[in-house]
Amino acid sequence: MKRERWIYLFLGVVLFTIACGLIKKMPSTPDATREAQSPPGVAQLTAAVAGNDAILATVSVKGTAQARELSIQLTKLSSELKVTPLGSEGVSWITSWLTHPACQPPCWENITPGVTTIDEAVKIVYQIPGVDITWLPSMTGATEGEKSLGWDFSQSGYGWIGTERWQEIVSEIHLGTGGEQLLLSGVNAAYGNPSSVVKGSCHGGFLSQPTCIYSIVYKDRGMELDIGIHDYKKVDIQADTETSTIYLYPLTGSRLNGSGIVWSGYGQYDFDEH
């Protein structure tokens, strides 16, 4: 009998200890109760949302800081040039480039890759009608050693000018149409026929038909036109083929020496045979 009483006493102590532990773990506030009763993952989702809000807030702060820095730099530039930047909604930059260019490719608006300095380019772009500068080479946050200038055209499209690392001379110019129609026939009428068709990077091929980016190269003009994504074996190029981006490079550079098919007029170019 004594042994049984000791066993009952021992079991009672164990049960009492467990009960105390459960009481301590119970939430003491309504909010804690709701959190404890929430399905698994709700707390983690709430934390993730809070973290995302923090990231968005950080991006907003950085964006505000960059906008302020841009405003300061443009004000300084305006003071140095003693001019008021022109804003015009007249003829689009594409029409001007095709009909009344300031200079011949690879030069654009008197900015020539391999010749013009990035500081000279800033002063030129600043005074082009209908241009809204979005990035200056003097702004912080760019890739170390590289200088770049970015802007939007008031009607459509964008522009970008950059240098090689630790250099001051413009190494390339990008001009995006922003959806405004630019046909290959118009470019060829203004600047002559291209030299070759080049196939760039390809994507897909596992679960979908692979596609590739194709470009039209004007080697003697230091110019390349992106004509978009097509079949990975062949591309059909016609007068009404549209281009989305114009790239301008130094004539002495190697960027335009990629392998491709020699231009033979409008028609189909089969890369599966080359």
Which distant-in-sequence residues (6+ apart) come within 8 Å of 137 by Cβ?
118, 119, 122, 147, 148, 149, 163
Residues 97 and 204 occupy one common structural domain? yes
pLDDT digits (tens, 9 = 90+) for 163-192: 998 899 999 999 999 999 999 999 999 999
Please tell me the predicted confidence (pLDDT) of residue 75: 63
Mean pLDDT of 57-67: 56
Same domain (yes/no): 100, 207: yes
Mean pLDDT for the chain?
Answer: 78
Which distant-in-sequence residues (6+ apart) come within 8 Å of 160 by Cβ?
148, 149, 150, 151, 173, 174, 176
pLDDT computed for residue 170 by the predictor: 96
pLDDT at residue 256, as a whole number: 82
Band the pLDDT of 81: cuts 50, 70, 90: low
Q: Are residues 99 and 177 in the same domain?
A: yes
Token pair of 150 as six digits:
């970015």
Give residue 25's pLDDT: 42
> Is 101 a member of any domain?
yes
Domain boundary among 84, 115, 147: 84
Residues 148 and 259 in one domain: yes
Task: Note the pLDDT of residue 101.
Answer: 95
93-136 pLDDT, tens digit per residue, is 999 999 999 999 999 999 999 999 999 999 999 999 889 999 99
What confidence tens digit (pLDDT) does each residue in 208-220 have? 778 889 999 999 9
Domain match, 102 and 213 both? yes
Contact 125, 132 (CB under 8 A): no
69/114 same-domain check: no
pLDDT at 171: 96
Cα Rg, the chain, nearest whole Å: 32
Q: Confidence class of residue 77 from pLDDT cuts 50, 70 and 90?
A: low
The share of the chain scoring above pLDDT 90, in percent, equals 47
CB 124 within 8 A of CB 111: yes
Same domain, yes or no, for 125 and 202?
yes
Q: Can you say how many angstroms the Cα of residue 48 is from the centroid of all Cα atoms in its chain?
A: 26
Task: Place 3 in a pLDDT band, splitting at 50, 70 and 90.
Answer: very low
Does residue 213 form part of some domain?
yes
Point out the least confidently predicted range of 14-18, 158-162, 201-205.
14-18
Within-domain flag for 265 = yes
In a domain, 211, yes or no: yes
Amino acid at 28: S
Judged against a pLDDT cut of 50, whether residue 264 lies above it is answered with: yes
* Residue with token string 């010749």: 115
- Mean pLDDT, range 231-251, rounded to an integer: 94
Looking at residue 140, its pLDDT comes to 61
Cα-based distances in Å from 205 to 4, 93, 215, 258: 76, 38, 21, 23
Domain that holds residue 220: 93-273
Statement: residue 73 has pLDDT above 90: no
Would you say residue 70 has pLDDT above 60?
A: yes
Question: In this model, does residue 195 exceed pLDDT 90?
Answer: yes
